[in-house]
Amino acid sequence: MKLTTTSKYYTISFLFAGIFWSLLQLCQIEFPNIIFFLTAYVWHFALVTPGLKENVMTKHHKLSFLAVVVRMNHYLQIFINLKRIPYGSSIIRAISPAIFTFILFVVGGTGNILFTLLGSFCFELVYQIVKKKTKLYDSQSLNPLEHISDLNTPLVILNEEKIHE
């Protein structure tokens, strides 16, 4: 059975999410910290999912939380220029989940923001390792964790948004 690129991406990412979750459970980490970790992990997972950016920029998904996350990352990529720094786009992707979990921490009063950074780091580590290990996949198929660069993909601005800008 041959999996599509997106299916391979989902399988690899969720497999490692389960492994990290199990390790956190074995270490008896408090529940809010696990939630912060998984929030950052899934946030990064969503941002680099192949083809997701194009799909959420439609009129149907314009006001969804996922569209807000993708746009926030796109604008951060534009305004914060870290092209010369290795893994600069990974650093920029870690900003928005850190802000989000900081707001959750302020409202809820529990949790440790460092677990958000750990979740970001763990996903990016898996992402970079699998991206470099192209031997795991057919030479004809793309690496499932490769995606179009955030800056190379044009952001679709809908007509209603152009009016408000």
Q: 159: domain range? A: 5-164
Q: 45-98: per-residue pLDDT in tens?
A: 888 887 777 777 776 777 778 888 888 888 888 888 777 777 777 888 888 888
Residue-level pLDDT at 8: 82
For range 126-151, the mean pLDDT: 55
Domains identified in the chain, total number:
1
Q: 5-38: per-residue pLDDT in tens?
A: 778 888 888 899 999 999 999 999 999 899 999 9
DSSP state of 57: T
**Cβ(5)–Cβ(142) under 8 Å?**
yes
